[in-house]
Structure formats: structure tokens, C-alpha cells
């Protein structure tokens, strides 16, 4: 298994541009999460999904959108990039919803908005 994979690894965006961060897992996990990690800080939850077709907001959802059309994929969309969205983005997944269950993280996408 590849586990949780993310693309791209690094991207530079101009203010106002849009992009999609890709996240795929091959572990047949039902639950998937998007976090952002600002320099010197912990991870903050952006959006999460409990299964295909179901998504919900986390702590910091403004400026982002998600979709979950398949179990494997959970893309994160930035419509109008802003400098405040410069961060490292991590996708994670768990099989049964994470009740006392470990989250598996992808390698991250480093995003710079100029």
C-alpha cells in the first residue's frame, strides 16, 4: 500500500489564483481530513469527510472547499488564493472514524502564496 499520497509537493501561487490539492489513500479508509500547519504551530483542521458524498467544516474552513466523490480521493480546493493561506497542508485518514484510532498522514503539500 502507498498509504496516503498528496500532490503536488510544493507550489507557488499568485494572489487570486486557484488550485486543487490532491489527496488519495489506498487503505479503504472511510474518514479523511485536511489540516494546515503554519510555521511553528500545530495542525488545524480545515475540513473532514466521514465517507463518500459527506463533508463537514473543521476549525478553519474559510477560503477552502472540498469534495468526496470516491472513498479514495479527497481534494482540497483554493478558489482565490491569499497570502494567509501560505502553509503546509496535510491530508490524513482513518478507517472507522478515528474513535481512539490513529490518523495516518500524507507527506504534505507546501504552498506559498505571493
Partner 1 sequence: GENVEQHPSTLSVQEGDSAVIKCTYSDSASNYFPWYKQELGKRPQLIIDIRSNVGEKKDQRIAVTLNKTAKHFSLHITETQPEDSAVYFCAAMVGVTGGGNKLTFGTGTQLKVEL
Rounded Cα–Cα distance for residues 22 and 114 (Å): 21
Q: Report residue 42 as a C-alpha cell.
A: 500545530
Residue 16 or 97: which CB sits closer to partner 1?
Answer: 97
Whether 49 contacts 74, CB under 8 Å:
yes
Give the footprint of partner 1 on residues 68-107 (CB under 8 A).
90, 94, 97-103, 105-107
- Check residue 63 for interaction with partner 1 (CB under 8 A): no
Q: Report residue 105 as a C-alpha cell.
A: 498522514
Whether 1 contacts 104, CB under 8 Å:
no
Candidate segments 15-23, 43-51, 61-69, 77-85, binder of partner 1 by CB under 8 A: 43-51
- Check residue 60 for interaction with partner 1 (CB under 8 A): no
Out of 11, 44, 77, 95, point to the residue binding partner 1 (CB under 8 A). 44
Amino acid at each position: 500500500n502507498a498509504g496516503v499520497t498528496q500532490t503536488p509537493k510544493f507550489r507557488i501561487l499568485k494572489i487570486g489564483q486557484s488550485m486543487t490539492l490532491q489527496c488519495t489513500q489506498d487503505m479503504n479508509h472511510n474518514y479523511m481530513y485536511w489540516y494546515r500547519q503554519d510555521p511553528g504551530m500545530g495542525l488545524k483542521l480545515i475540513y473532514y469527510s466521514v465517507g463518500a458524498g459527506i463533508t463537514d467544516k473543521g476549525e478553519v474552513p474559510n477560503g477552502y472547499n472540498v469534495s468526496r466523490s470516491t472513498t479514495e480521493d479527497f481534494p482540497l480546493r483554493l478558489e482565490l488564493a491569499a497570502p494567509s493561506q501560505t502553509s503546509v497542508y496535510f491530508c490524513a485518514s482513518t478507517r472507522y472514524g478515528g474513535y481512539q484510532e490513529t490518523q495516518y498522514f500524507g507527506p504534505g503539500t507546501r504552498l506559498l502564496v505571493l
